Amino acid sequence: MKWLHKDLLDVSQLSRSEAMSLFDTAAHFQEINTRPVKKVPTLKGRSVVLFFAEPSTRTKTSFDVAAKRLSADSFSLAKSSSSLTKGETLKDTVLTLQAMAPDCIVMRHWCSGAAKFIADRLDCAVINAGDGRHAHPTQALLDGFTMFQEWGDLAGKTILILGDIKHSRVARSNVILLNKLGATVRMCAPRTLLPSTVRSWPVEVYSDLNEAVKGVNGIMCLRLQLERQKDGLLPDLREYACTYGLGPKHVELADKDVRIMHPGPMNRGVEINSELADCDRSLVLDQVANGVAMRMALLFLYMTRKGAEE
């Protein structure tokens, strides 16, 4: 398959058929992760820079594992160890990195639009590993892939996204992708944690969690950033946990085969009951495992795309 995109900035760039192709490719790489020797020479000699200007455990490790399993050389750079701390601009930092001729830069940054900013200035592929509140396309793709593996076609499925949607890049990218895949998306959060124009989004909006969960096939909990209380968006964590934390009683109201997801890291006892996080309905660890396969697929396609070969 010829991959024409230079960069992955958000899932809005991808057509439904391209997303499905990514699922197929990820499924192929998934098999490699079950072998005793989990490594193929596909990207031997290619290099990936993992530039994380914001803390990350799972996304960064996931990309690192994905790159290594495809035999690419990966190099990590964190904000704390980069010249950004010396006042260097993002432009100069990434141009410096580019001068070392990587094939791909995977970047996480706390500013919305930062991935677009560097993609406009770099010749190599740029994969957005999360930019501010804007987008987290690889998370959305691994979430979509996980759901696709669970249910096949997503048409007719209803997914509830629960929690701090206003500040969530995961929610934004998932809404776009799930709509492309034909799912119905619901959102539930206090009004202070919903985008101001959420009523114009292609979603069903709820403030009552008991209503929101009725009959849904999947529930995606989002991490509550604990400082939101200081921002005046919540009275306190206890009230949030009692009102918007997902518990067993909510699951009873959902579809009998409901699946529970969380992009992590989880605040157990706040946005999700701890036992639910670990129960057999939970896909949390499947998401992590599928994340490696999806990122292998992405690195493979973006680093061997038309143009990258020339």
Partner 1 sequence: MAKKKFDLIIRRAFLKGREVDVYVSKGVIAEIRDTQTEFDPEGAEVQDAFGLTMMPSMIDVHTHLREPGFEYKEDVESGLRAAAWGGFGAILCMANTNPVNDTAATTELMLEKARRHWPDGPRLVPIGALTKELKGEELAPMAELVRAGCGAFSNDGLPVKNTDLFRKAMEYASDWGKPVIDHCEDPFMAVGCGVNEGEVSDRLGLQGQPDMAEALQVSRDVLLAEYLDMHIHLAHISCRKSLDVIRQAKARGIRVTAETCPHYLILTEDYLEDPATQYSTLAKVNPPLRPEADRLAMIEALEDGTIDFLATDHAPHAAHEKEVEFDIAPCGISGLDTAFATTWGLVRDGVISEETFNRAWVTGPAETFELPCNRFEIGDPADFFLFDPEEEWEVCAATMQSKGKNTPLAGSVLKGRVKTHFLHGKKIV
In this chain, which of 133, 186, 228, 250 binds partner 1, going by CB under 8 A?
Answer: 133
Which of 21, 56, 61, 112 binds partner 1 (CB under 8 A)? It is: 112
- Confirm or reject binding of residue 113 to partner 1 (CB under 8 A): yes
Applying CB under 8 A, the span of 33-41, 71-79, 109-117, 260-268 interacting with partner 1 comes to 109-117
Q: Is 108 annotated as a binding residue?
A: yes
Task: Give yes or no for residue 15 binding partner 1 (CB under 8 A).
Answer: no
The reply to whether 264 sits in an annotated binding site is: yes
Nearer of residues 46 and 169 to partner 1, judged by Cβ: 169
Query: Residue 111 interacts with partner 1 (CB under 8 A)?
Result: yes
Task: Work out whether 52 is an interface residue with partner 1 (CB under 8 A).
Answer: no
Nearest approach in angstroms of CB 258 to partner 1 is 28
Mode of pairing for the β-strands spanning 158-162 and 104-109: unpaired
Instruction: Kindly state whether residue 114 participates in binding partner 1, applying the rule CB under 8 A.
Output: yes
Q: Which of 20, 40, 198, 308 binds partner 1 (CB under 8 A)?
A: 198
* Of 148 and 201, CB closest to partner 1: 201
| Only segment of 37-45, 88-96, 266-274, 277-285 that touches partner 1 (CB under 8 A) | 88-96
Q: Choose among 127, 88, 87: nearest CA to 109.
A: 127
DSSP string, the chain: -----S-B--GGGS-HHHHHHHHHHHHHHHHHTTSSS----TTTT-EEEEEESS--SHHHHHHHHHHHHTT-EEEEEEGGGSGGGGT--HHHHHHHHHHT--SEEEEEESSTTHHHHHHTT-SSEEEEEEETTTB-HHHHHHHHHHHHHHHS--TT-EEEEES--TT-HHHHHHHHHHHHTT-EEEEE--GGGS-TTGGGSSSEEES-HHHHTTT-SEEEE-PPPGGGTTTTS-S-HHHHHHHHSB-HHHHHHS-TT-EEE--S---BTTTB-HHHHHSTTB-HHHHHHHHHHHHHHHHHHHHSSTTT--
Residue 237 near residue 244 (C-beta atoms within 8 A): no
- With H, G, I as helix, E, B as strand and everything else as coil, classify residue 8: strand
Specify the stretch interacting with partner 1 by CB under 8 A; choose among 73-81, 194-202, 244-252, 289-297. 194-202
69 marked as binding residue: no
Q: How far apart are CA 219 and CA 277, in angstroms?
A: 11
Q: Does 117 bind partner 1 (CB under 8 A)?
A: yes
Smallest gap, in angstroms, from Cβ of residue 283 to partner 1? 25
Taking CB under 8 A as the rule, does residue 196 contact partner 1?
A: yes
Is residue 229 marked as binding? no
Task: Please count the residues of this chain forming the interface with partner 1, following the rule CB under 8 A.
Answer: 24
Q: Which of 90, 203, 246, 251 is close enough to bind partner 1 by CB under 8 A? A: 90
User: Is 134 annotated as belonging to a binding site?
Assistant: no
Annotated binding-site ranges: 58-59, 86, 108, 136, 139, 169, 223, 264-265
Binding site for partner 1 (CB under 8 A): 89-91, 109-114, 116-117, 131-135, 169, 172, 195-198, 200-201
